[in-house]
Amino acid sequence: MTLRLGDTAPNFDQESSIGPINFYDFLDDSWGILFSHPADYTPVCTTELGYTAKLSDEFKQRGVKVIALSVDDVKSHLGWINDINETQATQVDFPILADQDRKVSTLYDFIHPNASATATVRSLVIIDPDKKIRLIITYPASTGRNFNEILRVVDSLQLTDQYKVATPANWQQGQDVIIVPSIQDVTELEERFPKGYTVIKPYLRLTPQPNHH
């Protein structure tokens, strides 16, 4: 099954490091991040999960629930979590799915046979409160993910869902954003963007981030 942006994220029941999980029940009405790992006790994954744990407050501020996946069993996960906490000086506070039967990996297309017949690639999906897939990003197993970029994308998605704007290249919180080209009426522009805007080209208009003070 190949998932694309805008598709409904498949629901599932699976064992995890905190007990059985129904994915929709776990997400409730929050944003969600599901990300896969090739295996337990692997060096790159250890640093990734540790860094994700350190970002716990950042995810909570944004209303995002994080859940990881590896194809090893619960007992292995629990031992690995101890290693992560020790080596990364943090406390893993999110569940790791024990996807031994590859059920979730198959549902979310996390196994790429030409890369590895059994291990998942380093994939990550962002899911909105309507259970729609909003981002899919896949790294090779040898390259650790940039979780600051994941936070940046969440910020952009939440901002652009609320206002008729888009975010430019390398945008960070607090920087100017782009007014979508579909808004042309001057009165509507003034109402929506009381901070004013700058016309670079008719199709490229910048305005201060609407929800940033």
- Catalytic residue numbers read 45
Dig out the tokens for 206 from the structure. 């910048």
Beta strand extents in the chain (DSSP E only): 13-14, 21-22, 31-37, 64-70, 96-98, 122-127, 133-139, 165-166, 177-179, 198-201, 204-207
Q: How far is CA 199 from the centre of its chain?
A: 32
Residue type, 46: T
Tell me which H or E stretch contains 52. Answer: helix 43-54
| CA atoms in the 13 A half-sphere facing the CB of 83 | 16
| Phi, psi torsion values for 127, nearest 5 degrees | -125, 130
Q: What is the largest CA-CA distance in the chain?
A: 61
Residue type, 163: Y
| Number of neighbouring beta carbons within 10 Å of residue 89 | 10
Dig out the tokens for 6 from the structure. 């805008």
Q: Which residues pair with 123 in a beta bridge?
A: 138
